[in-house]
Amino acid sequence: MWIQKEITLEARPRGFHLITQDIERAIADCSGIQVGLLNLFIQHTSASLTINENADPTVRADFERYFSRAVPENEPWYEHTLEGSDDLPAHLKSSIIGPSVQIPVTKGRLNLGTWQGIYLCEHRNHGGSRRVVITLQGE
Amino acid sequence: MWIQKEITLEARPRGFHLITQDIERAIADCSGIQVGLLNLFIQHTSASLTINENADPTVRADFERYFSRAVPENEPWYEHTLEGSDDLPAHLKSSIIGPSVQIPVTKGRLNLGTWQGIYLCEHRNHGGSRRVVITLQGE
Amino acid sequence: MWIQKEITLEARPRGFHLITQDIERAIADCSGIQVGLLNLFIQHTSASLTINENADPTVRADFERYFSRAVPENEPWYEHTLEGSDDLPAHLKSSIIGPSVQIPVTKGRLNLGTWQGIYLCEHRNHGGSRRVVITLQGE
């Protein structure tokens, strides 16, 4: 069984945002899958997806601070600067974190660990809404 | 054909550890798959999985040294500090490296390159045992 | 439906290279898949695959400059140095970026965003040709 849909995540500020509920809502009609895999793919090069701690918002605030130090803006040797000082760092963060996540599906549910949630990582100051392709397969 | 199982990897010290044989043992009954994909998903936010050099243990030692410098402990601007100085860096490393790997399966075997092995990346000082969901599909 | 093949990418210089067309050519016979997923897996530990901006070559040049600063050569504490000063950094970059990408397939085409292309990330000075296992599944 294959299910594929495209969803739009509302615009969020630069930073790391829990979207587990957005995804669970989008696949609510898939409870019949006993064994499967979910693939989420963000169709952008300045935002990314990851899985991390789902309880304490300071983790997500620390993520924004860490990645914005590890991939600084305004390095004098950046050449790709026409789209703003946050643009090239956003591309770099997007490839460090990655554009997709794969999550096992078991007995009709995402088989995440207790503390795992899905993050939208918004690397632009004003990234706007973001499109995600959801592909769910299983039996 | 779908096969899914959850395994527990025994506790290992902080660092990078070859687990190729643990995984091959866990999927030993899957030799009938001619074409497929293996997904490994670690159900934790302070450990990760990757694929890298399988021969020289100094690579894995250098990995631990590199990542512990690139993501240092005790930054004064970390807010998420209650669970120990190794906790927030572990979350960050987990998203930089990622919680899952996908490996093609060909003629009943993992189609890894000659020098590729599967690493458990343990980012906590005392992370304990780690759960991995194995999802194998193919025909 | 499963399709799996191994391709060889010609040797490219150290840096980040668009290979979207190489991949599209390799899967040109797969236009019958309405819903699916493409997995690309590079069988090496000193090169990697990612998805990023497909239009401006300065992005790819900035990627090479960034990653070669973030993962420097010749750190005095590297132990794995016998294969050249670019070798251990190449392994590290390979795990930061990752050895595989997953791309949704929709109506016979890769469902990439407008600005997304597939990058071969060559981390060695003289990496030679690179083998990629292509696994496409769908219906």
Among B112, B58, A134, smallest CA distance to C111 is for A134
Q: What residues of chain B score a pLDDT lower than 70? A: none
Name chain C's partners: 3 or more CB pairs within 8 A.
Answer: A, B
State both tokens at C3. 């399709």
Report the share of chain B in percent with pLDDT over 90: 96
10-residue mean pLDDT series, chain A (139 residues):
96 98 91 94 98 98 98 98 97 98 96 98 98 97
Measured CB to CB, residues of chain B less than 8 Å from chain A are: 2-4, 39, 41-45, 70-71, 75, 77-80, 88, 91-92, 94-96, 98-100, 102, 131, 133, 135, 137
> Is A52 within 8 Å of B77 when comparing Cβ atoms?
no
Kindly report the backbone phi and psi dihedral angles of residue C61, in degrees, each rounded to the nearest multiple of 5, phi listed first. Answer: -70, -40
pLDDT recorded at residue B120: 98
CB of B27 within 8 A of CB of B137? no
Q: Which residues of A touch C70 (CB under 8 A)?
A: 70
User: Could you tell me the pTM of the whole model?
Assistant: 0.98
pLDDT for position A9 = 98
Packed helices B87-97 and A57-70: angle between N→C axes, nearest 10 degrees: 60
Q: Do C88 and B112 touch (CB under 8 A)?
A: no
Strands C116-122 and B130-138: unpaired
ipTM comes to: 0.98
Laid out side by side, the sheet with A109-110 consists of: A2-9, A130-138, A35-42, A100-106, A109-110
Q: What would the pLDDT profile of B103-128 be if each residue is shown by its tens digit? A: 999 999 999 999 999 999 999 999 99
- DSSP string of B42-97, one letter each residue: E--SSEEEEEEE-S-HHHHHHHHHHHHHHS-S--TT----TT-TTHHHHHHHHHHH
State whether B2 and A63 contact (CB < 8 Å): no
Contact at CB, B41 and A102, closer than 8 angstroms? yes
Say if residues A133 and C106 touch (Cβ distance below 8 Å).
Answer: yes
Q: Residue C10's CB: how many other CB atoms inside 10 A?
A: 11
pLDDT tens digits for range C113-125: 999 999 999 999 9
Contact A45 C36 (CB under 8 A): no
| Integer Cα distance of A89 and A66 in angstroms | 13
Are A45 and C56 within 8 A, CB to CB? Answer: no
B55: distance to nearest CA of chain A, Å? 25
